[in-house]
Amino acid sequence: MSVILQISDLHFGTERPPVVEALLALAEALGPDLVVVSGDVTQRARPAEFAAAAAFVARLPDCPRLLVPGNHDLPLFDPLSRLLCPYRGFRRCFGDGAVAAGRLPDLLVVGVDSTRRWRHRHGEISPAQVDAVSRRLRRAQAGQLRVVVVHHPLDVATRADEADIPRGAREAVTAWALAGADLVLSGHVHAPLCRPLAERYGPVARGCWTALAGTATSRRLRGGHPNSVNVIRHALVAGERRCSVERLDYDEARGAFRPVAVQAMDIGG
pLDDT in tens, 53-67: 999 999 999 999 999
Q: Is the Cβ–Cβ distance between 203 and 195 less than 8 Å?
A: no
> 28-32, 102-106, 190-194: which has the minimum mean pLDDT?
102-106
| Nearest alpha carbon to residue 32 among 4, 1, 64 | 4
Per cent of the chain over pLDDT 90 is: 82
Q: What is the pLDDT of residue 84?
A: 76
DSSP string, 104-164: ETTEEEEEE---BTTBSS--B--HHHHHHHHHHHHTPPTT-EEEEEESS-S--SSGGGGGG
Domain boundaries, the chain: 2-265
pTM: 0.95
What percentage of the chain's residues is helix, strand, coil (to nearest 5)? 30, 30, 40
Q: Where are the alpha helices (DSSP H) in 31-69?
A: 47-59
Is the CB of residue 123 less than 8 Å from the CB of residue 161?
A: no
Tens of pLDDT along 63-113? 999 999 999 999 877 777 767 788 899 999 998 655 555 567 889 999 999
| Helices 127-138 and 169-178, axial angle in degrees (round to 10) | 20
Statement: residue 38 has pLDDT above 80: yes
| Region of poorest pLDDT, from 90-104, 162-176, 227-241 | 90-104
CA within 13 Å, CB half, 16:
19
| Amino acid (1-letter code) at residue 188 | H
Residue 119 has what pLDDT?
67
Instruction: Tell me what pLDDT residue 238 has.
Output: 75
The CATH H-level superfamily of 2-265 is Metallo-dependent phosphatases (3.60.21.10)
Q: What sign for the dihedral angle of Cα 152, 102, 250, 11?
A: negative
Q: How far apart are CA 118 and CA 123, in angstroms?
A: 10
The closest alpha carbon to 210, from 162, 173, 236, belongs to: 173
Return mean pLDDT, the chain.
Answer: 93
Q: How confident is the model at residue 118 (pLDDT cuts 50, 70, 90)?
A: confident
